[in-house]
Amino acid sequence: MAREKQLQALAEDFMCVTGVVPEIVYAGDPVLRTKTQEVDVEEGLEIGQRLGRVLKKYRKLTGMGRGLAAPQIGESKRVFVTLNENQEVDIFINPEIIRYSDSTNFFREVCISAGIISADVERSEAIRIKWIDGSGQEQEDNFSGDLARLIQHEYDHLEGILNLDRAVPGTISLATFDPLKEKLRDQPIPPTSF
């Protein structure tokens, strides 16, 4: 009975989000499976600002969400945003990950476009990326840990890849855990048995 109530609450929360944040598209929409196209800086900044507004609205409603990519609002463009530690939006226009570390970690990822579904995903511990920022300036930098993971997750959206596509076999499940308490691990979680 407790599990049924938990699942009902998840479904109700999801329905609330779809009503309040209708800009978001979900798994099954073809735009999420399409490799995106580069944009000029002006268009990238406009899309980035829109993404930031949608992400902040989603975060205010759910208390979660640290990044959002253009395909997640129906735009097949190479732009994503992240929220930094000051809760300000960082814009990434035409990003390119140019190096992935050999060392990896695991994390049960949720995704705004996957609704209430999660998956344990292995990603590189560190990356090097180049992009155009929210000031229209070219940047190149290294990222590691949680931020490297977030950037890789959002970058995958630009390549038409969902976190569910990268799931460790047997780990796709309903997100019945608190995503805010998840920690990076050096081993995957045990596969779910049904």
SS3 156: helix
Reported as a single tens digit per residue, the pLDDT across 33-74 is 999 999 999 999 999 999 999 999 999 999 999 999 999 999
Instruction: Report the alpha-carbon distance of residue 182 to residue 107 in Å, rounded.
Output: 7
Reported as a single tens digit per residue, the pLDDT across 92-136 is 999 999 999 999 999 999 999 999 999 999 999 999 999 999 999
Instruction: Report the alpha-carbon distance of residue 41 to residue 164 in Å, rounded.
Output: 31
Q: Which residue, chain included where needed, has tokens 């977030």? A: 150
Q: Where do the domains of the chain lie, and which CATH numbers do they carry?
A: 2-179 (3.90.45.10)
The tokens for 130 are 């180049």
128 bridge partner residues: 99, 142
The alpha carbon of 48 is separated from its chain's Cα centroid by a whole number of angstroms, namely 15
Residue positions forming the annotated binding site: 111, 153, 157
Asked if 96 is an active-site residue, the reply is no
Instruction: Report the alpha-carbon distance of residue 128 to residue 89 in Å, rounded.
Output: 20
Instruction: Report the alpha-carbon distance of residue 117 to residue 186 in Å, rounded.
Output: 22
Residue positions forming the annotated binding site for Fe cation: 111, 153, 157
Reported as a single tens digit per residue, the pLDDT across 131-178 is 999 999 999 999 999 999 999 999 999 999 999 999 999 999 998 888
* Catalytic residue of the set 38, 109, 154, 159: 154
What lies within 8 Å, CB to CB, of 113 at 6+ separation is 24, 25, 26, 27, 29, 32, 72, 157, 162
pTM over 0.85: yes
